[in-house]
Structure 1
Amino acid sequence: MKISATIITFNEEKHIKECISSLLPVADEVIVVDSFSNDKTAEICKSFKEVSFFQQPFKGYGQQKNDALEKCKGDYILSLDADERLSEKLSNEISKLKETGPLYEVYKVSRINNYYGHWMKHSGEYPDYKIRFWKKGSVLWSTSSVHEKAVVESSSIIGKLDGDILHYTTSSLYTHVAQVNKFSDLAADGLIQSGSINNAILKMLLDPPFIFVKKYIVKLGFLDGFAGFTNAIISAHSKFLKYAKYIQKKRSNNQ
């Protein structure tokens, strides 16, 4: 069984070397689709002989990933984001599947998120299951403007792998806030494209405190210390920004 790994990139020089290195013990090829990075991403990727490096204009996260899938030659696909890595346990598990053959066409994998150097084991952050390993042709990515999802194209039973994907989501409050500002803008655009939504102002007022209470109290985010508190606050703020930007954009479009 041959495995193709896929990654999409834009200015990922901080993460891409470790991401690729974690894939090499299990992947027969690594497909990188880059959106014309202007840092050292391309240089780093091309330094690996196992990497096939492609560049194209950014078409949205889901479409970029689908374009990467089309370039894969392997029997199974392993998908990572550039800020993710395979844990040693997950790598060993996939290696065994290469020897014995997978029992399922599609597998979900738990992902553990790292905020400011802290592994989030509460706050509703873990286990953050994602479909990331599948038989070629079994999965495509949704093409929503943000938070693309792996859509299973068959009626296959979904298996589960025990190891974790290590997700180095953000290293500081500054980058976390910048990230939220970017993605809330994309989310607002997605709402505009999907048509009008009801009670946007009410959602803007009520959803943020609900998100904070859910993450920090109900999901035990307080056990994650400073990272748990700031993550709950910023997640609530992200929800506020999503609807506030939607309202502002909608009003601007109607003028």
Structure 2
Amino acid sequence: MKLSAVLITKNAGPDFRRCLESLAFADEIVILDSGSTDDTLAIAEEAGARVFTSEDWPGFGPQRQRAQEYALGEWVFWVDSDEVVTDELAQSIQAAVVSAPANMVFQLNRLSWFFGRFIRHSGWYPDRIVRLYRRAEYRYDDALVHEKVTCDGARVGSLEGDLLHYTATDFHDYMSKSVRYSDAWAEGRARKGKTATLGSAISHSVGAFLRKYLLQRGFLDGRHGFLLAVFTAHYVFNKYAALWIRSRR
């Protein structure tokens, strides 16, 4: 088996079916679910995926490591349940796994949808992330959130085509995810003995808005760019406020 497409899920959302359909080029689809209560598992089984479940939630990095253990392919391609692989990207992935030498990983460009528009500035595009590597060579780190592939010393190739990321289609889901990520970030920092003040929460929040809207040219994304900069500032404030609250306990 050459290529395993691997996902971690929990109540995958409205784009999950399209996501799985776009992975038809993979030799297998592996899903590790952490307690879905909607139709996620049914959709996964309809698509012919190999589905596994976990009782606890150790954080994003450790959960991805768990999921990788179930894969059988020589190569692992990671995708999230709100992402769709374009035809161009699928062809590029298939070509890469045929001829790539050892110790090589591949990054791709992720194009994100934000409440009615694909964002092409604001630091969101090209959002280059490593998602394809040999299963025996690399894996994810232990970060609870914002996890990354640990591939120090690897050669990094680039794949053609975009991975479409429907990250913001529902306001409630988007804000709920933001709060969960903020809390996970604060927990990870607190474990390392880090603290914060409300002053640092404010200063980091203002800095995040200015960086997103001005330095990363979010204004070129119009009203969506302004809204994204505001939401980014709100998320950053929540991260440091959550860490401050933890330090006050």
Contact 2:74 2:136 in 1 (8 A): no
- TM (normalized to structure 2)? 0.93
Aligned counterpart, 2:52: 54
1:157 corresponds to which of 149, 155, 158: 155
Contact 1:106 1:138 in 2 (8 A): no
2:234 corresponds to which of 226, 233, 237: 237
Contact 2:58 2:144 in 1 (8 A): no
How many equivalent residue pairs? 247
Corresponding position: 1:209 with 2:206: yes
Q: RMSD of the alignment, in Å?
A: 1.6
Runs of 5+ in structure 1 lacking a partner? Answer: none
Cα distance in 2 for residues equivalent to 1:173 and 1:91: 30
Shift of 1:16: 1.8
Cα distance in 2 for residues equivalent to 1:217 and 1:64: 36
Corresponding position: 1:4 with 2:4: yes
Aligned counterpart, 2:86: 87
Aligned counterpart, 2:186: 188
Bigger CA drift: 3-12 or 86-95? 86-95
Shift of 1:123: 0.3
Alignment-mate amino acid for residue 18 of structure 1: R
Cα distance in 1 for residues equivalent to 2:8 and 2:194: 31
Shift of 1:191: 1.6
Aligned counterpart, 1:69: 68
For the residue of structure 2 that corresponds to 1:23, the secondary structure is coil
Contact 2:13 2:81 in 1 (8 A): no
Contact 2:105 2:132 in 1 (8 A): yes
Contact 1:116 1:172 in 2 (8 A): yes
Corresponding position: 1:218 with 2:212: no
Shift of 1:196: 2.7
Q: How much identity, in percent, do the aligned residues show?
A: 31
Aligned counterpart, 1:146: 145
Shift of 1:90: 0.4
Shift of 1:224: 1.0
Aligned counterpart, 1:28: 27
- Summarize the alignment of residues 107-122 of structure 1 with structure 2, pairs less than 5 Å apart: 107-122=106-121
Deviations 1:173-219 (CA, angstroms, capped at 9, x unpaired): 3332222112111111112111034x634421211111111111111
For the residue of structure 2 that corresponds to 1:129, the secondary structure is strand
Deviations 1:22-64 (CA, angstroms, capped at 9, x unpaired): 1112x10110000120000011101122x10001122211111
For the residue of structure 1 that corresponds to 2:6, the secondary structure is strand
Deviations 1:101-151 (CA, angstroms, capped at 9, x unpaired): 225621111111111121110001111111101112222111222111111
Cα distance in 1 for residues equivalent to 2:141 and 2:20: 24
Shift of 1:94: 1.7
Alignment-mate amino acid for residue 186 of structure 2: A
Cα distance in 1 for residues equivalent to 2:90 and 2:101: 17
For the residue of structure 1 that corresponds to 2:29, the secondary structure is strand
Aligned counterpart, 2:43: 44
